[in-house]
Structures are given as C-alpha cells and as structure tokens.
A and B are shown apart, each in its own frame.
Chain A
C-alpha cells in the first residue's frame, strides 16, 4: 500500500515541476488546477484505504522501520491530507483570477504546489527528522510565495516571518539532535516506547524545545508575532492557503508529538499548554478587536482559534481530542474561505481597510451570503461547523471542571462575533464612502467564476459539516481514539510485536 501513501506527496511535486516549465504560458494555472484535482482524488483513495484497513504504513526504499523513512497514515493524517487537497483545489482555482501574469512568470504555481507537497509530507511522515525536512520544504516555498511581487510591505512582513520561522526551525533541529542522543531513534512510533528508558527530566526539557519550535509554527501566545506582521501582505490566494494550512501543520505536529512521544509528564507539559491555549485565545481575539483592516482582523483570529485547538490537546481527555481534531478540520475550511472572500471584497470594493469600503450587502448580496456562512461558523453559531467544534471543546472543559478555561472559550467566542459584526457592519452594511457600488459584475465573467466557485464550495462544505455533524464527530472520535491509544499506529509502523 505504500504507493498510496507516497502518491499525495509525489503528485504536487510533479505538478510543481510541470508548472515551473510552463510558467510563461497560461498553461501553468491549468496544470496547477489539474494537479490539485488529481491530488484530491489520491487523498480520497488514501482516506478510503485508511477507513477500510486502519493505520497504513509504508517503508520508503524497503528499509524496515525504525531504520528507514516511514510514511504512515492514521485517520488524523488521512483527513489532514484530504482537507489540504480540498484547500489546494479551491485556491488553485481562485488563483486563476487572483494571481497576475507577473507572479505566474516568477513561478507562483510551482511554489504553491511545492508548498502543498511540504504540507502533505509533514502530515504523512512517521519520522521526526523527515518531518523537519518537510517543514523546510514548506518553509522555503512559503518564503517565496510571501515576497512574490516584492512590494515594500511584503518585504517587511517577509523579514519577520523568515526570521522567527528560522529560529523555530533551529530549535526543532536541536530538539531532534538531543532526542536522538537520548534514545537512538527518530522514528515516531519507535520513540513512543524508546523514551520510557530515557532520563525523564531531560526528556521534559526536550519536550519544551519541541513545544516552542512547533508553537512558533502554530502561532501560539507568546510566539505568534510573525503572523499578524506578514499574513496581510501577500496576494490573497497566498494568504488564504497560509491561513488555512501553515499554522495547522504546527498544531498537527504538536498534536502528534504530545500524544505519541511526550506524554510522560502531562502534569507539567500539558499545564503549560493549557495556559498557552488560554492566553492565545484571549490575546488573539483582543488583537483582532483593535484592527481595522479585514485581513489583519482575520489574521489575529487565526491566532485566537489556534488557542482552541491547543486547548483540546492540553485537556487531553478523549472528548477534548475529538474537539481538537474537529476544530482543526473545520477551521482550515472556514479560515481559507474568509481570506478568499476578503480578496473578492478587495477587487470589487477597492480595499480591505474597513473605513474605506462598504455597500457590499446591497450591491453584492451573493457575496454577503457567502461571507455570513464562514464568519458565523468562525464565531460558533449553530448550526454551522464552528458551533459543534466549540461545543465539543467547552463540554470537554466542563467535564473535568475546568470552569475558568470553559468560560474563557465562551467569552472569546463572543468577542469573535464582535469582530465579525464589525466587518459585516462596515464592509457590507454601510454605504461605500466613495459612493461606488461594489457589484460582482465589476469582475470579468471568468474571474467571477474562478473566485466565487471555490468560495461557494467551501461554504457548502461548512454547512454540510454543520448540518450533519454526526459522521464527522464519529470520525473525530475514531481519530482521537487512535491518538490516545497509539498501539495500532505503532503496530502498523514497526510490525506486530510480542
């Protein structure tokens, strides 16, 4: 089955190479759309296989684990790969309208597909050093995408993004070195038992190194400053895919390592995570309240929502992990969609600064409807996907008498509504300050289709998750069970052990 695991990584690589070769023609964008669609098909096939057979592992080059590089897909990995492919399809279609020829010539589509390859690789790998390599693939592609175009704001945001992410990378590398020195292995399934024999105090130190490294990637308090400094500067298609996927790779890495490897001293590590989660939620949402630009508001909301996912991990009860997994998937869809919508607003209303735009509700009611779905979902209105995600997490917190953290989670939900209402009131409800009517017909019919189809698709997905949460929650439960009892994961990688 290992080809099925390698396929979602190989496809974006091939697409990137082809897109690079055809970067000066208009073929590049169609190659990107086709490649993403094939990736989606491959990831659904992988998901089917995982649902049918349980955890799948493949040893690259036939080197048996723990010596070779292992690719492994459990339910969490599989669903993350599927959702990555969905976002890739949506954004590659959107890019037809959003990315101009100049950026295409500079290799936008190649970088985009490289980024997707890195993200999928990070989700699919079962080896820590290999995870580092995928992080780097993702990072260098994201560096390129972030500064593509070279406007001064982009360079400025790029410097901060690059600087802090490189520091986090080096932390990660040091952590890997120390962990290898202590256990002699870097295979994650092997590490799960190998760490039992190590010095537990030293292991906690390494755990904190990993926590900081992944915390920077996930943009948690107090390590998130690179995110609101840079996410509002690149092209909208770029910031949508960043917002949807990049921080979630950090969350995924935390979720994986802190359930599989670093679960020896949860009283210490997961208490830190709980504090981090609380502060991340509050600081993110307050930061958003102070902003007046649509993309900056949304950027701070990424930070605040990451707090919810970390909360699920920090509580570490079965229900909390269910909530975290559900939140992860829901958030990727919703957040990417909101950035895509901001892109449409920029095109037809002439900006994302809230004081300078308006009138979208009257002139572009379709866009208003499409905005309401992800915005209310983000804030946690029933019956949208965000409601169930928050409901699961708050219930998990209440179950273990975490009154304060549950209260924080609810209050942050309220403040999220405040920010979404601000966008709604100023961009949609109030008339445009310059008196222009931001109609969707200002876009050419090709651009209109390319921008609205992915937005509508993601909105429909949000509604489907919200109206029929049952199968998704069941899936998240099965996935959380695998995370909390990794014996199936370990057996799949290392083979049945006596």
Chain B
C-alpha cells in the first residue's frame, strides 16, 4: 500500500513540477495544487497506513481497546488542506487580477515591478 502511495506522490510531484515550469501562471497554480496534495499524502503515509479501527474510545474505558488508526496525521492533513484552500483561493484571484491588469499570464512578460531598462 505504501508503495502505491509512493508512486502516486511521485507522479503528482512530477506533473506538478512540469506544470509549474511551463511558463504560464494558471498552469503554475494548478501545479501548486497538485504538489500540495502530494505533500498532504506524504504526511498521511508518514503516519503509517494501518487497517485499524477508527480511533474512538468506548464509554467507560481510558484507552482504545483494539488497534486503531493514527489520528494525528489526519488532523495535520486536514489543517493543511484548509490552509491550502485559503491560500489557493487567494492565489487564483491574484492570477486573475494579474490577467486583467497586466494582460498577460506569462511570467516572462511581467516586468512592471522590475523594468528591464532600470539601470542607467
């Protein structure tokens, strides 16, 4: 199972890097979404994949009675997903704004902040 996850993460990262290097901001954002999901899966796998039960403690007991799944990586991934959602929402709006104000999605054309003839 870990092997399958490792392959998936590898494919995700490879596609992400390809997209991020393709000189188009929108593709860059898509690449970022993919690579962030690869990071989330990494955390998930790092918490060990088990076929344990949900980590619930029955009433009256102090500890789970059977082997349970590790809940912490899931909490971490959930936090990361929520944060990532916010960041990507912002990033997509920013790219849209860049499209409307700068009329380009090609990073090479975006020289407003650093004009090329700056040194005189």
Q: CB within 8 Å of B: which residues of A?
A: 129, 132-133, 136, 139-140, 143-144, 147, 150, 152-160, 162-163, 166-167, 169-170, 173-174, 176-178, 180-182, 228-230, 232-233, 290-293, 296, 355
Contact = CB atoms under 8 A, between A and B. Distances in A.
A181 B47 contact: yes
Contact of B90 (A140, A230, A355): A140
Interface residues of B, number: 41
A292 B118 contact: yes
A139 B110 contact: no
Given A180-B43, A180-B47, A233 B113 contact: yes
A129 B90 CA distance: 22
The 6 A-B residue pairs with the shortest CB-CB distance, nearest first, are A181-B46, A177-B43, A156-B112, A157-B113, A177-B42, A156-B113
A187 to B, nearest CB: 12
A163 B28 contact: yes
Interface of A is mostly: helix
A174 B113 contact: no
Contact of A129 (B36, B76, B94, B120): B76
Contacts, number: 114
Interface in B88-114: 90-91, 94-95, 97-98, 101-102, 107, 110-114
Contacts of A147: 94, 97
B47 to A, nearest CB: 7
Contacts of B80: 132, 173
Given A177-B46, A229-B113, 9 more contacts: A129-B79, A133-B79, A140-B90, A143-B94, A154-B113, A156-B113, A173-B43, A173-B80, A293-B118
A144 B86 CA distance: 12
A140 B36 CA distance: 16
A144 B91 CA distance: 11
Given A133-B79, A155-B97, A292-B120, A174 B39 contact: yes
A228 B79 contact: no
B83 interface: yes
B120 A159 contact: no
B36 A153 contact: no
B35 interface: yes
B45 interface: yes
